Amino acid sequence: MLYKVTVEFNKEIFQISQNQITIGIKSKPINGKANKEIIKKIANHFEVPSSHVQIKSGHKSTIKIIEIQY
């Protein structure tokens, strides 16, 4: 399943609406730390291993396309 993910920094939010997720993270976008936090939060929410969550596009953007394999 593909989701459009919008990232907001320094916020604690996680909202899902159809195929869109708005997620708040604390990590800075340095050395991939922000992307790792995003993957971890999404994996925890959908109760899948982190290896089943993959960023398809937007690695350096606040808008990403993420694929979750169930």
Res 22: pLDDT: 98
State whether CATH 3.30.1200.10 applies to domain 2-68. Answer: yes
Q: Which of 45, 43, 67 is nearest to 54 (CA)?
A: 67
pLDDT digits (tens, 9 = 90+) for 13-54: 999 999 999 999 999 999 999 999 999 999 999 999 999 999
Res 20: pLDDT: 98
Task: Report pTM.
Answer: 0.94
Extract long-range pairs of 21-24: CB within 8 Å, 24+ residues apart. Answer: 21/66
Tokens of 32: 């991939």
Tokens of 46: 């959908």
Res 8: pLDDT: 97
Res 23: pLDDT: 98
Domain boundaries, the chain: 2-68
Rounded Cα–Cα distance for residues 17 and 30 (Å): 28
